Structure 1
Amino acid sequence: MSLDNNENIHEPPFLQKWVNRLRALTYRSPLYLITLKKRKQLEIEPIPKALFNLRVGHGRSLKSGSFPFAGRIYKSGDQPWTTAQDDQAWQNWIHGFYWLGDLCEYEDAEAILKARAYVKNWLDLHGVWSPLAWRADVIGDRLVSWMYNAPKLVANADKDFIESFYTSLSLQGSHLSRSYFNDLSGYNLLKALRGQLYVCLFIKDRQKRFNKTLARLGGEFDKQILADGGHISRCPITLFHTMRMALELVDVFEEMQIECPKAIRLCIDRMAPMIRTLRHSDGALALFHGGQEGNAQDIEELLDRTGNQGTPLSDARHSGFQRVEAGRSVLLMDVAAPPDINSHSFGHAAPLSLEISHGEERLLVNCGSVLGGDPSWQEALAATAAHNTLTVDDKNCLSLLHGGGIKPQHVNVTYQRYEDNGQILIDTSHDAYKNTMGLIHGRSVYINKTGDDIRVEDKLTGMGGSSYAISLHLHPDIHASLVQDGQAALLKMQNGIGWHLRVQGGKLDMRESIYVGQPGEMRHTDQIIIQGPLRGEGALIKWRLSRVGG
């Protein structure tokens, strides 16, 4: 699929484009600035320190002009926003100033001077509206950071800086308070509402919209968190971030002696079991729809804070995931249509993909995701072939958009789960290849009671396509070799346990793959390909993983 194809560029509806242009003309107008509340002095209530996870080591890097983000170092002078301007994720982060606390908390007078210099430069370049820097979710992050760090920024600062800083903070707060966020959805919308709420809560004389904003925030949490506790993005790491925000709000409300909306507390109670559902036995998260593993200790600490002891779900039907725990094996499977661009910016074209772990080691993994950097990597990792599922003619089952996300299109995914005396069978299918290839992909997954016998049957029904390939991506710690003249494979884990892979109906091959489970870590690994021709009569492929040794 060509990344330059215009069909892969997501364009907003015609009317929305005109609304955006009119909004831009309005916001850039000097007359609009006059309508915003402007204060050269502001009274800001102290913001709880728990809002920020400060990293003193990062403060040292920031002071020298090196910005650690997503596992990479962005080197910049006094104008970091002019660096990598085509990197959307980086631009969101640098304009959001979430990093400012790391610099201000660094015990060094020069660090505070450097922080002021960054703020002053931003004010010079972006003091008036611009599409990205003044997008509501970015403003929300920035205002929270500026309010939190205001005492250190203005202490012993000259009058001009103090007045410019507070003037911009008040203008941005006023702009955010009157915004409706029609262009935002998902987690970004929650960030914008959080910023709007904190402006009402922590800036004196801005409390007028507090109740209305709080009600909308609670309602949005309830809307985005599904009945089984999953997030509408279907991305495990986004669910983690959403629960962290919800717990932050609970802490803030308790400190301010404000009653937390019932909707937010109920969402926390739903989210905790779902996060457990999407964890492997190593404590980190599965890799679905733009997610990475996260930090197992952070996840555990967050779950402890909820006080919720809910167990993992086996059938998360609202979120579209199946979980099987058998013996020491864990299997997680995606059994729903991928989220399109309107629900999530980083959906992956991989219905029926699965991951398998045994003990604290991962065996079969999806390739993961990158945050920022070269957008072609995001697209490559969102491809069908970057997941443990079936691909026809080396083409994605759904259209990916340049820069991330899936083009809106209808996909029908079905599944049934059967259990008998500890044995599990999951029957699934999707029709994402129906319009382009005339094919239906069915997948049946069986796992026995002890978790050491896993059998999968992949079936293509229809007359289209010329070839198929089933990708089985291995975790980098797995050593694999083809055996029996290439008719089978042996997978060896670090703990010495082996798995024998046997195939009926296809040929085995080994190729290189990539694994991106943590920010900035692109680890080379292997994948086993089960492949074969299609001759107008579909295909039936059976493969089986059996544990040997251990």
Structure 2
Amino acid sequence: MNITALSERGRIWRLVALYIWQRTLKWMHGGPIFRLQPFSAVPSRLLIAPQDLRTADATNAGDIYGGRFLFSGHLVETQGRSPFELNAVHPDWQRQLHGFGWLRDLRAADSQIARQNARALVEDWIRYCGKRHPVGWEAPVVTRRILSWLAHSPFILQDGEHDFYHAFIKSLARQVRFLRQTINETNDGVERLQAALAIASACISMAGQGRFARQSIRRLDQELMRQILPDGGHVSRNPKAIIEIMADLLPVRQAFVAQGLEIPQGMVESVDRMMPLLRFFRHGDGALAHFNGMGSTPSDLIATILAYDDARGAPPSNAPHSGYQRLTGGDSVVVMDTGSVPELTLSGDAHAGCLSFEFSSGAHRIVVNCGVSAKSNAIWRKVSRSTAAHSTLTVDDTSSCRFLAEKPFGHFLGAPIISGPTRVALDREDDPAGSRVSASHNGYAPEFGINHARELRLAADGTVLDGIDLLELEGAVDPDLSFAIRFHLHPATRASVIRGGTAVLLVCRDGEAWEFDAPGLELSLEESIYLSDVYGHRKTEQIVIAGLVQEIPSVTWQFRKTATAKLSRRGTSDFDEIGELPLED
């Protein structure tokens, strides 16, 4: 057995030991013993309701009132029963139900019926699930429920009876105590930080918390300082983590202000660091680049979060701690992944996309990564994390990272990365002519004896993007060993092969055109799929350069702008007349 295999096995057994230890502690702190403990520490009242920044849809209120619940792509009709009496439903559906995020939709309806419906459903949860439920008492679900109940408590409690008010406050306090006792057993990363946010939010929102409030604020400060990197990124390297954290952190910060409390230093510094990095990942159309778990961009939520940004400065060009680079020139933006694998326990959503990049021009995204599917589907999740789903180079159609296999441990440990690039070299140069980033990784070295190096240079006016991909051999390799360089295209970009297969013409919706070529090499245009569209999966295409490692150790390619947008007399582009691309499942 080689050193790499031994190292991977060691990481797996470390995960197994950690899982067993955490499950044991969780059983001790939040299991039968917790449920049997007497509970009388009921706060007298709620002092404040933190704001919910997430977007609501009032049209869902009618469906909820009619007993139709559509969560995670699963529609369940309750047929007059309480949804909390149903158990044989997909776990992801149950997590959204028990998280109570849908309260914002009922509140948006702003009607007496919606308020009574919300109160009845909360009463049902307290009655059927208030002490135990296999999904409803998972720590992340408890976190979301606490934050939802607090944010929408004025809506729920208005015109309610005293007995309901008391039951509501008692149940809320019980859930906060559960989270406080089990936070150390919560999965590290965003889940643990959100649990700390929920506890702190509850402690400053409920009367008489005193010592608990001070402890919760101190713990939240510690988690923020530990998880938010100096450049504003999250330790998981997932851009989505910044959105999720900010959506919960900003209301807690506002609650501190409303209560006249001093905002903890860690909270101030974290917000100040995360805001610029959120802009760092944005393309010209406002969408965030798809790296390491980022799916479709919640545009409304992003706009709301950025409204809290007082500085509103230009995004940074370099995020060295998070492992990303941003190149800008004219209207063009390139974002490149130049980081190594996150820590083992934080890599459950990380992708094998080292040295992949996304490229946009103005409001047009041209080169993308496939992104993450919104569907609860293990197959699509596996596909989206592979190197082939990213705009970078693959060797022998193999990912640059190895994920934990589904059996025998994957069922309960998930699929963290157990090996991947450990060394990513980086060099950056900015001058009046443009910006250049050169990077390399050793993800393919253990299995194939190959290092992948990539250099990108974006012209200052944004009209030319040059690239070089190098295969650096550490020794002899199989003469039949192949490579493929993929450039996944956004579905709104039309592509066609020109010049006898030596170039590809790319046309955007407003007529802007780009030409891609790789001198001396034959290109192919193949099918691809874009997983991160807000309306579902969409068919798209990818440019592929393939060959044998020994024969073509270096590939030079270029994107060159050949036409700007051409508007018709009606004020719309001629290209618009072709119509939108169809949505695909």
TM-score normalised by the chain length of structure 1: 0.89
Aligned to 1:406: 416
Letter in 2 for 1:409: S
Letter in 2 for 1:37: F
Contact 2:342/2:350 (CA < 8 Å) preserved in 1?
yes
Q: Distance in 1 between matches of 2:270 and 2:205?
A: 25
Q: Secondary structure at the match of 2:308?
A: helix
Letter in 1 for 2:432: N
Deviations 1:483-535, CA, capped at 9 Å, x for gaps: 12212211111221221111146432221111133444211111111111234
Aligned to 1:303: 306
**Closer/same/farther in 2, CA of residues 406 and 438 from structure 1, 3 Å limit:** farther
**Closer/same/farther in 2, CA of residues 450 and 468 from structure 1, 3 Å limit:** same
The structural deviation recorded for 1:61 is: 2.7
Aligned to 2:56: 54
Aligned to 2:224: 221
Q: Where do 1:49-198 residues align within 5 Å?
A: 49-50=51-52, 53-69=55-71, 72=73, 74-77=75-78, 78-79=82-83, 82=86, 86-88=90-92, 90-130=93-133, 132-150=135-153, 152-153=155-156, 165-198=168-201
Match of 1:500 among 515, 527, 539: 515
Q: Are positions 1:44 and 2:46 aligned together?
A: yes
Deviations 1:473-492, CA, capped at 9 Å, x for gaps: 11111111111221221111
Q: Distance in 2 between matches of 1:248 and 1:329?
A: 34
Deviations 1:292-333, CA, capped at 9 Å, x for gaps: 342445434422312023321112111111111112211111
The structural deviation recorded for 1:545 is: 1.3
Contact 1:286/1:293 (CA < 8 Å) preserved in 2?
no
Deviations 1:49-70, CA, capped at 9 Å, x for gaps: 4556433222223223334546
Aligned-CA RMSD value:
3.0
Question: Larger deviation: 246-255 or 25-34?
Answer: 25-34
Question: Larger deviation: 424-433 or 461-470?
Answer: 461-470
Aligned to 1:539: 553
The structural deviation recorded for 1:47 is: 0.8
The structural deviation recorded for 1:187 is: 1.6
Q: Distance in 2 between matches of 1:28 and 1:229?
A: 33
The structural deviation recorded for 1:442 is: 0.8
Q: Secondary structure at the match of 2:419?
A: coil
Contact 1:349/1:383 (CA < 8 Å) preserved in 2?
yes
Question: Larger deviation: 51-60 or 519-528?
Answer: 51-60
Q: Distance in 2 between matches of 1:27 and 1:219?
A: 21
Q: Distance in 2 between matches of 1:43 and 1:251?
A: 20
The structural deviation recorded for 1:158 is: 7.4
Aligned to 2:499: 484
Aligned to 2:581: none
Deviations 1:55-91, CA, capped at 9 Å, x for gaps: 3222223223334546x45334232685785554x44
Q: Are positions 1:421 and 2:432 aligned together?
A: yes
Aligned to 1:392: 395
Letter in 2 for 1:454: L
Contact 2:51/2:251 (CA < 8 Å) preserved in 1?
no
Q: Distance in 2 between matches of 1:414 and 1:427?
A: 8
Aligned to 1:453: 464
**Closer/same/farther in 2, CA of residues 11 and 380 from structure 1, 3 Å limit:** farther
Letter in 2 for 1:228: D
Aligned to 1:436: 447
Gaps of 5+ in 2: 1-7, 565-585
Q: Distance in 2 between matches of 1:41 and 1:483?
A: 71
Deviations 1:436-483, CA, capped at 9 Å, x for gaps: 222111111122222222111111122446211111111111111111
- State, as a whole percentage, how many aligned pairs show the same letter: 29
**Closer/same/farther in 2, CA of residues 495 and 189 from structure 1, 3 Å limit:** same
Contact 1:39/1:166 (CA < 8 Å) preserved in 2?
no
Letter in 1 for 2:461: T
Letter in 1 for 2:56: L
The structural deviation recorded for 1:223 is: 1.9
Q: Distance in 1 between matches of 2:519 and 2:546?
A: 11
**Closer/same/farther in 2, CA of residues 440 and 172 from structure 1, 3 Å limit:** same
Deviations 1:3-37, CA, capped at 9 Å, x for gaps: xxx99x97763443443443454357654334352
TM-score normalised by the chain length of structure 2: 0.84
The structural deviation recorded for 1:363 is: 0.6
Q: Secondary structure at the match of 1:237?
A: helix
Q: Distance in 1 between matches of 2:31 and 2:416?
A: 35
Q: Distance in 2 between matches of 1:422 and 1:296?
A: 33
Q: Are positions 1:373 and 2:388 aligned together?
A: no
Contact 1:36/1:171 (CA < 8 Å) preserved in 2?
no
Match of 1:349 among 352, 356, 364: 352
Q: Are positions 1:336 and 2:339 aligned together?
A: yes
Question: Larger deviation: 165-174 or 269-278?
Answer: 165-174
Aligned to 1:16: 18
Q: Secondary structure at the match of 2:501?
A: coil
Q: Distance in 2 between matches of 1:44 and 1:173?
A: 14
Q: Distance in 2 between matches of 1:183 and 1:457?
A: 43
Letter in 2 for 1:317: P
Contact 1:37/1:174 (CA < 8 Å) preserved in 2?
no
Q: Secondary structure at the match of 1:214?
A: helix
Contact 2:295/2:532 (CA < 8 Å) preserved in 1?
yes
The structural deviation recorded for 1:105 is: 4.9
Contact 2:43/2:208 (CA < 8 Å) preserved in 1?
no
Q: Distance in 2 between matches of 1:30 and 1:297?
A: 42
Aligned to 2:315: 312
Gaps of 5+ in 1: 1-5
Match of 1:521 among 536, 548, 557: 536
Aligned to 2:575: none
Letter in 2 for 1:406: P
Letter in 1 for 2:235: I
**Closer/same/farther in 2, CA of residues 476 and 44 from structure 1, 3 Å limit:** same
